Amino acid sequence: MTDAPAHDDDGYDSEFDALVAPTAPISHLPPPSLAPAPAVYPGCCVALSEALIGNLGALLPPAPALVVSIGSGSGLFEALLLAEPCCLSLIGVEVQPSVNRYLPSSRHRAVVGTYSLEPLAAEATAWLFVYPRRVGLVDEYLATYGEGAVQTVMWIGPTADWQDYKACFGRGWDVRVTCADEMGGRAWEVVAVATKTPP
């Protein structure tokens, strides 16, 4: 699947959306099978591979611990983490009207605007931010719910963007940054995992 169609910067393909939009609200799509080599798939900003999903799944808490993905977009990335072999307990949060295509309604929450926060984050053991658009969103979640159950925050995005986001994690967080190509992804993306340190 290395010849996945090109898409715009946000990972959405307008032809793809036009094709699936009429049926998407009724039922969610099954995620595609991933190739061993990283490739960009319509509906996801991150270059995906089987190995990347397996490695990321292993860094997140296993079910029944709750993982909340903030800005889940089409839900493709999240649907892959819900499926075998990861089988995480995950809920994706997206702004309404949601562009979700892959997550069943039981695994999806919609918030009213880009400045809205989903209170379920207070109960989650881990948060995921995959290609977020605004540093302030990470800051606001940490300020509002960072003292709650969350133990791990995973951030995935372009290496250059991480420079802006790393300041979100000050005292109280131990941050490990790995180039995505060491985990089955592409060289220009990084995976940052922030772990809450004991007080």
Ligand X SMILES: C[S@@+](CC[C@H](N)C(=O)[O-])C[C@H]1O[C@@H](n2cnc3c(N)ncnc32)[C@H](O)[C@@H]1O
In the complex, what is the shortest distance from the CB of residue 70 to ligand X, in angstroms, rounded to a whole number? 5
Q: What string marks each residue from 78 to 97 as x (binds ligand X by CB under 6 A) or -?
A: ---------------xxx--
- Residue 176 contacts ligand X per CB under 6 A: no
- Nearer to ligand X (CB atom), residue 137 or residue 183: 137
Q: Both tokens of residue 9?
A: 């910067």
| Of 34, 48, 70, 124, the one binding ligand X by CB under 6 A | 70
Distance CA 32, CA 29 (A): 9
Looking at the Cβ atoms of 31 and 132, the one nearer to ligand X is 132
Interface of this chain with ligand X, residues 2 to 61, rule: CB under 6 A: 10-11, 44-46
Token pair 């605004």: residue: 134
Residues 6 or more apart whose Cβ sits within 8 Å of residue 105: 28
Say how far apart CA 138 and CA 39 lie, in whole Å.
27
Q: Buried (b) or exposed (e) across 99-133, using 16+ Cβ within 10 A?
A: bbbbbeeebbbebeeeeebbeebbebbbbbbbbbe
Residue from 131, 145, 165, 169 that binds ligand X (CB under 6 A)? 131
Which residues here bind ligand X, judged by CB under 6 A?
10-11, 44-46, 70-73, 77, 93-95, 111, 114, 116, 130-133, 137
